[in-house]
Amino acid sequence: MKTLLMVKPDIVENGLFGEIIALVLRSRFKITNLRMVHLDVGTVERFYEVHRGQEFYPSLVEYVSSGPVVAMEITGDNVIAAIRTLVGETDPGVARPGTIRHMFGISIQRNAVHASDSPESAKKELAIVFGGS
């Protein structure tokens, strides 16, 4: 099973993305692909298609397309649920200590990372970021 973990632009810009990669490397999972890429507006719109129509969608698209992201394909048993547990709640203000969002998130939008929430989303998101992998 595979998932996508994507470090958002502000954490790439400030250099803390290395600490997030290190957390994944210390887990039982394997990073099987890794890419730093500046996604354009149209690509981010497709990536977050499920949120189109939400009031936060335009600013989310602007933010995630504002600079390079670091995307990881992570592989292992039960990886989708496990990585979401490591990531924590969407809102860093309620994410539990020890989670990535508790440590690196600064607001509900600037919440450090995105992680796929289902096998279907993982397949779609990995294809968008890695071009069909």
114 is catalytic: yes
Nearest to 123 by CA among 47, 61, 62, 56: 47
Closest CB 59 distance from ligand CMP, rounded Å: 7
80 part of the interface to ligand CMP, by CB under 6 A: no
Closest CB 111 distance from ligand CMP, rounded Å: 5
DSSP H or E segment with residue 127 = helix 119-130
Q: In the set 90, 103, 124, 128, which binds ligand CMP (CB under 6 A)?
A: 90
Q: Could you tell me if 39 and 64 are in contact, meaning their C-beta atoms sit under 8 angstroms apart? A: yes
Name residue 124's amino acid.
Answer: K
128 part of the interface to ligand CMP, by CB under 6 A: no
* Coil/strand/helix, residue 26: coil
Residue pointed to by tokens 């924590």: 88
Give the count of residues interacting with ligand CMP (CB under 6 A).
8
Site for ligand CMP in 33-52 (CB under 6 A): 51
> Tokens for 81?
């649920």
Residues with active-site annotation: 114
- Contact footprint for ligand CMP (CB under 6 A): 51, 56, 60, 90, 108-109, 111, 114
